[in-house]
Amino acid sequence: MALKTAQEYKDSLKDGRVVYYKGERVADVTTHPELSVCVDTMALDYEMAENPRYRDLAVVSDEALGEDISRYYHLPQNGEDLLKLFDLIVASTRLGDGFIPLAHDIGADALNAISITANILGNSDYIARIEAYRTTLKKNDLAVVTGMTDVKGDRMLRPSDPGQAHPDYYVRVVERRRDGIVVRGAKVHISGAPYSNELFVIPSRAMTAADADYAVAFAIPVNTPGLKQVGRPFHAHITSLEFPNSRPLRVHTDSLIIFDDVFVPWERVFLCGEWQVAATLVVNFALLHRRTGCAYRIPMSEQLLGVAKAIAEYNGIANAPHVKEKLTDIVIYLETLRSLSHAACLDFVTYGGIAVPNPVSTNIAKYHFANEYHKVIKIIQDLAGGLLVTAPTFRDYQLPELQADIAKYLGAKADVPTEQRLRMLDLIRRITGADRETIALHGEGSLQAQRMTILAEARKTIAQCQLMVEEQAEIA
Ligand X SMILES: Cc1cc2nc3c(=O)[nH]c(=O)nc-3n(C[C@H](O)[C@H](O)[C@H](O)COP(=O)(O)OP(=O)(O)OC[C@H]3O[C@@H](n4cnc5c(N)ncnc54)[C@H](O)[C@@H]3O)c2cc1C
User: Interacting stretch for ligand X, rule CB under 6 A, among 143-151, 276-284, 290-298, 415-423?
Assistant: 143-151
82 binds ligand X, rule: CB under 6 A: no
User: Interacting stretch for ligand X, rule CB under 6 A, among 22-30, 32-40, 113-121, 185-193?
Assistant: 185-193
Task: State in angstroms the smallest separation of the CB of 447 from ligand X.
Answer: 7
| Nearer to ligand X among residue 152 and residue 309 (C-beta) | 152
189 binds ligand X, rule: CB under 6 A: yes
CA 288 vs CA 67, 116, 277, 280, 356: distances in Å: 26, 11, 17, 12, 7
> Residues 76, 96, 352, 445: which binds ligand X (CB under 6 A)?
445
Q: For the window 348-377, what string marks contact with ligand X as x by the rule CB under 6 A?
A: ------------------------------
Task: State in angstroms the smallest separation of the CB of 90 from ligand X.
Answer: 19
293 binds ligand X, rule: CB under 6 A: no
Task: State in angstroms the smallest separation of the CB of 179 from ligand X.
Answer: 27
146 binds ligand X, rule: CB under 6 A: yes
450 binds ligand X, rule: CB under 6 A: no
Quote the CA–CA distance of 117 and 121 in Å, as a whole number. 6
Q: Which of 250, 233, 231 is nearest to 189 (CA)?
A: 231
Task: State in angstroms the smallest separation of the CB of 202 from ligand X.
Answer: 8
41 binds ligand X, rule: CB under 6 A: no
Q: Of all residues in this chain, which one has the CB nearest to ligand X in the complex?
A: 148
| Nearer to ligand X among residue 290 and residue 326 (C-beta) | 290
Q: Which of 100, 90, 106 is nearest to 44 (CA)?
A: 100
Size of the site for ligand X (CB under 6 A): 21
Task: State in angstroms the smallest separation of the CB of 188 from ligand X.
Answer: 7
Could you write out the DSSP letters of every residue in 280-315? HHHHHHHHHHHHHHHHHHHHHHHHHHHHHHHHHHHT
Could you write out the DSSP letters of every residue in 405-458? HHHHHT--STTS-HHHHHHHHHHHHHHSSHHHHHHHHHTTS-HHHHHHHHHHHT
250 binds ligand X, rule: CB under 6 A: no
Task: Report residue 330 CA to chain centroid gap.
Answer: 22
| Nearer to ligand X among residue 38 and residue 312 (C-beta) | 38
First to last CA, the chain: 67
Interface residues for ligand X in 312-351 (CB under 6 A)?
none
CA atoms lying within 13 Å on the CB side of residue 71: 22
> Residues 79, 98, 101, 147: which binds ligand X (CB under 6 A)?
147
> Residues 12, 115, 149, 292: which binds ligand X (CB under 6 A)?
149
Cβ atoms of residues 197 and 30 within 8 Å: no
Could you write out the DSSP letters of every residue in 214-260? G-EEEEEETT-TTEEEEEPP---S--TTSPP--SPP----EEEEEEE
Q: Which of 146, 195, 252 is nearest to 19 (CA)?
A: 195
Task: State in angstroms the smallest separation of the CB of 102 from ligand X.
Answer: 8
Quote the CA–CA distance of 19 and 91 in Å, as a whole number. 30
* Geometric angle at alpha carbon 205, from 199 and 210, rounded to 5°: 110
Task: State in angstroms the smallest separation of the CB of 64 from ligand X.
Answer: 29
439 binds ligand X, rule: CB under 6 A: yes
251 binds ligand X, rule: CB under 6 A: no
Task: State in angstroms the smallest separation of the CB of 24 from ligand X.
Answer: 22
Cβ atoms of residues 312 and 327 within 8 Å: yes
Contact positions vs ligand X (CB under 6 A): 106, 145-149, 152, 155-156, 189-191, 254, 438-439, 442-446, 448
